[in-house]
Amino acid sequence: MMLPATPVPDFTSPQTLRAHIADTMAFYRPRALDPAGGFFHNFRDDGTVYDRSHRHLVSSTRFVYDFAMAAVEFADGPDADRDRAAALHGLRFLHEVHRDPASGGYAWTLRDGAAEDRTHHSYGLAFVLLAQASARKAGLDTAAAMDETWDLLEQHAWDPVQGLYRDEADAQWRYAPYRGQNANMHLCEALIAAHEAGGDDRYLSRAQVLADHMTRRQAALSGGLVWEHWHADWSVDWDYHRDDPKHLFRPWGFQPGHQVEWAKLLLSLRAHLGPDAPDWLLPTARHLYDTALAHGWDATHGGIVYGFAPQALRDSSPYPDAPPPDLAAAPMFWCDDDKYFWVQAEAIAAAWRLYEATGEVRYRDDYLRLWAYAWDHFVDHAHGAWYRILDRRNGKYDDLKSPAGKTDYHTMGACHDVLAVMRGHTRRR
């Protein structure tokens, strides 16, 4: 049973954002680090570990991000050295256990320290690069490791003809025909972080290419929003996981959370590029965010739902041969009305970036509305951190706070992102 929320603090204050990061780290810091290597992953709400032997690449890398960014934010605090050491501890586990020295790739999952799934996911490599870049921001020497990850992606995953990354390969780097936007979105994020960490313009240039191709060229094929799933030739795959709209990493339907996440990334690129930023970045960010909120916000129970799709896609027409849906004309329906923590967090960061970029008060109002909703329903006021998933009426399904992938990287990341904007660290030059 969830406790009643305390009054919502002032999240326009940097001190409030810093306090929320500190409170969230207070949940993970005493219990996440495994002295034998890496981090424990699977936490219940009260912090107990319900599976000590299983490790997932996404969690392993995101915990490095969490501890590295905490070391940066609280550099003068009593936990900075401890957090930096934890980030280094996690990097060693990535290199010595997840990484296969023969292929250069990273095991997707481990069981008892041995590779369980050796599939090479570009999504996973995105978080390897993000972990390395975040650690470099914290003062750790990861420049060579970042170069190695860039080269690995160039050698295997990069498609120079399409200007996007391939998605999934077997242990011998043979790629499946599936193509996905999610890997490219998180690679865009990681490339921006890599540029921030070392100032190398190749990272920022590639991030801009990914953003342009996904949010303009590919989105034009799917009605103006970013669709999740694509064929090998980057034509729309309307059917992929149509029967599984709740899939953890590859759900069917338009994802409001990914539209707002792209909006955040476009505005981050715009800030970094300064006077050289192309004119399309801001209007595209606004379009993705505004459409996501228009169709994804639950006016009855609050929060943003997980997935929606055009009404026309409910029939049995052959989707690969059908024209793209007209999102302006087609009625919308929710294919998954659950509320996920990361969707609300990414919308928080995007709303503040849009407010900073446009000065429009409605985005500030959205930011405050989203924080109020998250504070009332997602933040665990008894133990710390955020719950992972709620139903439409904001009821919890279980007490599994941190299964695979959930490390509060999104929630603390939103705070770090908003703080950077407030401090002018990514303001347009």
- Residue of 89, 98, 410, 416 marked catalytic: 410
What does the alpha-carbon distance between residue 128 and residue 142 come to, in Å, rounded to a whole number?
Answer: 11
In the residue annotation, 425 being an active-site residue is answered as: no
Report yes or no: 153 and 169 within 8 Å, Cβ to Cβ.
Answer: no
Going from the C-alpha of 152 to that of each of 203, 273, 301, the distances in angstroms are 14, 26, 45
**How does DSSP classify residue 99?**
B
Residue 260, amino acid: V
Spatial CA neighbour of 231 closest among 162, 174, 185, 170: 162
The partner residues of 117 in beta bridges, in order of sequence, read 109
- Residue of 229, 258, 377, 416 marked catalytic: 258
Report yes or no: 394 and 377 within 8 Å, Cβ to Cβ.
Answer: yes
Token pair belonging to 225: 């929003």
The partner residues of 304 in beta bridges, in order of sequence, read 297
Residues 6+ apart with CB under 8 A from 270: 277, 281, 282, 285, 357, 428
In the residue annotation, 287 being an active-site residue is answered as: no
- Which residue, chain included where needed, has tokens 């570009």? 122
What does the alpha-carbon distance between residue 261 and residue 245 come to, in Å, rounded to a whole number?
Answer: 19
First to last CA, the chain: 48
Name the residues annotated as catalytic: 258, 410
